[in-house]
Amino acid sequence: VIEKCLCVVCLDDPSGMEVGDTSRALLMLHGGGHEKMGANRWYDKPMQFIVGEDGVCGTVCEHSPFEGIVLVACTEYLMKFMTGSPSKMGRATSVSELPTPARLLWKTTPHIQGLLKASAERLQKLVRNLDMDVHKFEVYGKEFIKKQKMSPDAYIQVALQLAFYRCNGRLVSTYESASIRRFHEGRVDNIRSATSEALAFVKAMTDEKASLSDSEKMKRLWYAINAQTNYTITAITGLGIDNHLLGLREIAQELKMERPEIFTDETYVASNQFILSTSQVPTTVEMFCCYGPVVPNGYGCCYNPQSDHLLFSVTSFHGSTETCSAVFIKALDEGLVEMRDLLLKMSVLPTTSVQ
């Protein structure tokens, strides 16, 4: 029955947690552990619709079959239908009559009970380890960035590089998902945001701040934005490097060839350890998405640029001494404000453009 169903609806009891964006995100992602709603999930299903008695609701997506943007499109459609056409709810002639819900009977053994207990303990460890922080940056939003003739996504990616450099004194391999749905069976490729141009800019805002003029900082910002924008275009038009290299690696394995040397090179291995894993998931209604880091010492950062504010969901692991979500968000806030201040300073000077 469960295998054949299209989705799962999880009806949650009140969580007992203080309701806020971060607690909502945690309840969606892991249910608060087995003592709360963690056992009221079925993570193998592509979509779970969660409705809590205390008003906390959302959806959980198992990533294998589709991208987050598909889930957002589905959710927005439902939300607009509910708010725009409440009189049509459940009355459309195209809706078929559903069978009466039936309780599923389970046969368990002491062995299965032992496995369930072990799973609950593993879940609890994951819950305790996750450091989630959902943050609304309210100083400005994407409209301000657009007025500077800059791509909001590229701008935010450069700001993420600045935040990471502030926290760690270096840049690292960064993943940003690039949709290639325009191609048959296309999913995503990778926009590698840690460019040399981004490094030059973040150094101008940190190590070299006192010695560089505002015009030089501005020039480097434009170079970083342009490099990010160009790489984005390259990736979404099928000319990125990651999918092609992955394809070659898998073909070599299928043909039982000796693994080509490039795939064992330390640079290739390091370049695929995405310590900063990011994704823009924009929405037309107020909502946000979140996910965990992809490596033990990394960050997951999903962001949603709105007109007058920016939403960030930042995750890391408490078990890592190298990361802290609150520290990263503080650095991100400071960088976004400094970037705005630089833009405002330069707007009163004669306009210059960088190609």
Of 12, 18, 8, 19, nearest to 36 by C-alpha is 12
Chain-centre distance for alpha carbon 65 = 17
8 Å CB contact between 302 and 288: yes
CB 136 within 8 A of CB 311: yes
In the three-class reduction of DSSP (H, G, I as helix; E, B as strand; rest coil), residue 16 is classed as coil
Place of tokens 């504010």: 309
Q: Where are the beta strands (DSSP E) in 162-211?
A: 174-179, 188-191
Catalytic residues, by residue number, are 63
Q: 226, 198 in Cβ contact below 8 A?
A: no
Looking at residue 296, its amino acid is P
- Alpha helix locations (H) across 12-107? 21-30, 68-84
Q: Is 184 left (phi over 0), alpha (psi -120 to 50) or beta?
A: beta
d(CA 32, CA 26): 6
